[in-house]
Amino acid sequence: MDEAANDLKLALQNDCESLPIDIEVHQKSNSTAKKEDVKSSVLKLLNRHNVIFGDYKWTEFDDHFLTNNVQSIAIVDTELKLKERQPISLHKCSLSIRIFHLNEEGPSTENLEAEDEDIVAANHWVLPTVEFHGLWDSLIYDAEVKSNLLDYVTTTLLFSDKNVDSNLISWNRVVLLHGPPGTGKTSLCKALAQKLTIRLSHRYLYGQLVEINSHSLFSKWFSESGKLVTKMFQKIQALIDDKDALVFVLIDEVESLTAARSAVRAGTEPSDAIRVVNAVLTQIDQIKRYPNVVILTTSNITEKIDMAFVDRADIKQYIGPPSAAAIFKIYLSCLEELMKCQIIYPRQQLLTLRELEMIGYLENDVSKLSLILKAISRKSEGLSGRVLRKLPFLAHALYIQSPNVTMTTFLQALSLVVDKQFEERAKLANSV
């Protein structure tokens, strides 16, 4: 089925002229240059680079205007559009240039009154924000998780623009990411909101991300949680009313809100609990009519979610532990960072899995280190993305403790720390 879907996408994009290439231009915070002038200078730069191989970023420029006004120019997400790495002619593709400033203010809080006490009901970011910059690229998944999520929102906007009758064809603007803890579900929601704000900057001036604090909203003040839900969504409605804003509502661990009705039927929760779920469902049904809102939800325990909520989710995407191939990419990004910071020194060439495959996994002086990394990746299967990102730090802390180290020595330490993780996991399991 996945192969057939890939073939269909390739058939639709086999004409390079129809292939859209996304270019993100990070304008400096102190720059007051007009977007039209920035775009013109960016196009001049791109005209000097006819063919590219995958994603690419410029951070230094020989153009005085770009140096003064632009932090970076990045060709992004090409791997989401192409099944395999291949040369791309920029002159023949459709270029989508998105110019953006990063908001540097950080999150604010949304407070609600409950029984004469204010509670922090949500965190609120104006997007794109410095806090989420680079987050999308750092999240590595198998299959087409990112691509599917971006395509979903694109279709949502298209159907709204074309005034498709939602009574005949239904969509609710709700995404549910589910899977075990530590797989990056919440981070992916935040990264998706940031990415879409930039990608749709020609339609919306900025984004708004409201992360609802489920636990504070629905535990201590449970007796009036139904009212608090309504109050919270009234605040969100005020944001949606601004047509210049693309609004994202993030409900983390959504099972804490929507498990109530099954608990009521089992007699383990008070009848007030059902009001919480009804309030959530009612509010979702009300705001889904607006074209500029997307509801992002996550869950670690999907079997506890109320089915009425699950049915409202247009996409139910499983986010599991990464495969050996994804682990290899995660480790590769970590090692590149350590080489850039000269903790691993001297710099060593590491081949990608695709490049290893092209040489038939033959061991030589160039491929030796990459093959070692591949073996470490394979034995790391079962570890979450959250754990994997910590392992290079732990490898250095436990086995190296030197300002700089060779790649060979670091890979030995990384292998040892992977073994240690599984040993500690086994000990914990035995003690329980």
List, for residues 174-231, the tens digit of each pLDDT value. Answer: 999 999 998 999 999 999 999 999 999 999 999 999 999 877 666 555 566 777 888 8
Alpha-carbon distances of 64 from 44, 67, 237, 352, 355, rounded to whole Å? 13, 5, 44, 35, 37
Cβ atoms within 10 Å of 366's Cβ, excluding its own = 14
Instruction: Say which residues have a Cβ less than 8 Å from residue 240's Cβ, sequence separation at least 6.
Output: 247, 287, 290, 292, 293
For 208, phi then psi, to 5°, come to -130, 130
Give the full edge-to-edge strand order of the sheet including 94-100. 56-58, 70-76, 20-27, 94-100
* Backbone φ and ψ of 118, nearest 5°: -85, 135
Q: Which range has highest mean pLDDT (17-21, 230-234, 314-318, 329-333)? A: 329-333
Neighbours of 169 (CB within 10 A): 8
3-state secondary structure of 301: coil
Share of the chain above pLDDT 90, in %: 64
Q: Is the peptide bond before 128 cis (omega within 30 degrees of 0)?
A: yes
pLDDT in tens, 110-138: 888 776 677 888 999 999 999 999 999 99
The encoded tokens of residue 59 equal: 């951070």
User: Contact at 8 Å (CB) between 283 and 230?
Assistant: yes
Alpha carbon dihedral 372, 377, 380, 384, in 10-degree steps, equals 150
Q: Check: CB of residue 66 under 8 Å from CB of residue 41.
A: yes
Residue 110 three-state SS: strand
Which residue is listed with tokens 């269909």? 8
Amino acid at 10: L
Tell me what the mean pLDDT of segment 66-73 comes to.
98
The reported pLDDT for the residue numbered 412 is 98
Cα(88)–Cα(78) distance, integer angstroms:
9
| pTM for the structure as a whole | 0.89
Q: d(Cα 288, Cα 338) in Å, to the nearest integer?
A: 45
What is the rounded CA–CA span in Å between residue 318 and residue 171? 19
Please count the residues of the chain. 432
How confident is the prediction for the chain on average, in pLDDT? 88
